[in-house]
């Protein structure tokens, strides 16, 4: 049987359109279900330091995960774009997030020493396939950052269930695969 690869640009356009069309009620329901699934997996429960993202354009929300992580005493980190690089910085309060370069809330780049690397990283995506490949926004920040720190973290894809596609995403040499995908309807552990 021949593998069916999706066209990345067409898939990106279709998924972004579908995601932006989610009404607030459906977005909240889907986000809550996905967050409850996430905090139940071993990769999250065992991690003392987790990196998550602040959602934009109806990405699956992470607000409950952030509050729960802080309540559980986990170190909570967010991605931040510093120049041409992405880093992860720890916060202790949601009020520390500011509007960043792409309109995404992030910690300030003005930090001193490097933070210890998170044990688990939650990755947003426009689409994921069932082999753990991801389509992002096309800027490559996550891929470059994670490639430089390969093997240091458990990588978890996080999305609405419709963003988990049946086709295959053609991976390029620099693309990073996730080990687990969590949606509002299922948790998929990828054999790697």
Instruction: Say what percent of the chain tops pLDDT 90.
Output: 66
pLDDT digits (tens, 9 = 90+) for 156-179: 999 999 999 999 998 888 788 999
Predicted TM-score (pTM) of this structure: 0.92
Could you tell me which residue, 74 or 149, shows the higher pLDDT? 74
> Is the predicted pLDDT of residue 192 greater than 80, yes or no?
no
Kindly tell me if the per-residue pLDDT of 127 is higher than 90. Answer: yes
Structure confidence by residue, pLDDT tens digits, 143-158 = 888 888 878 899 999 9
Phi, psi (deg, nearest 5) at residue 33:
-60, -45
Q: Tens digits of per-residue pLDDT, 10-57? A: 999 999 999 999 999 999 999 999 999 999 999 999 999 999 999 999
| pLDDT number for residue 3 | 63
Give the CA distances from residue 117 to residues 52, 159, 187, in Å, rounded to whole numbers and listed in that order: 13, 23, 24
Long-range own/partner contacts, residues 22-29 (CB < 8 A, 24 or more apart): 22/58, 22/160, 27/58, 27/61, 28/61, 29/184
The owner of tokens 């688990």 is 120
User: DSSP labels for 59-114?
Assistant: PPP-HHHHHHHHHTT-EEEEEEEETTEEEEEEESSGGG-EE-TTS-EE--S--SSP
Starting at the edge strand found earlier in the chain, the sheet holding 180-182 runs 85-91, 75-82, 49-51, 120-123, 154-158, 180-182, 187-189
Looking at residue 1, its pLDDT comes to 47
Three-state SS for 149? coil
Residue-range domains of the chain with CATH:
5-189 (3.40.50.10420)
Is the pLDDT at 124 greater than 80? The verdict is yes
């Amino acid at each position: 049987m021949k593998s069916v690869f999706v066209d990345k640009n067409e898939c990106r356009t279709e998924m972004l359109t579908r995601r932006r069309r989610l009404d607030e009620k459906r977005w909240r329901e889907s986000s809550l279900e996905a967050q409850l699934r996430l905090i139940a997996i071993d990769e999250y429960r065992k991690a003392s330091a987790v990196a998550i993202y602040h959602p934009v354009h109806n990405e699956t929300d992470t607000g409950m995960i952030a509050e729960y992580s802080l309540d559980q005493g986990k170190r909570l980190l967010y991605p931040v774009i510093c120049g041409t690089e992405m880093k992860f910085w720890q916060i202790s309060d949601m009020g520390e997030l500011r509007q960043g370069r792409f309109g995404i809330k992030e910690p300030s780049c003005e930090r001193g020493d490097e933070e210890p690397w998170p044990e688990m990283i939650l990755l947003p995506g426009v689409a994921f396939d069932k082999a753990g490949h991801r389509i992002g926004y096309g800027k490559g920040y996550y891929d470059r950052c994670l490639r430089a720190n390969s093997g240091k973290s458990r990588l978890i894809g996080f999305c609405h269930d419709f963003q988990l596609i049946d086709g295959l995403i053609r991976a390029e040499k620099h693309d990073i695969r996730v080990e687990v995908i969590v949606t509002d309807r299922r948790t998929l552990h990828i054999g790697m």
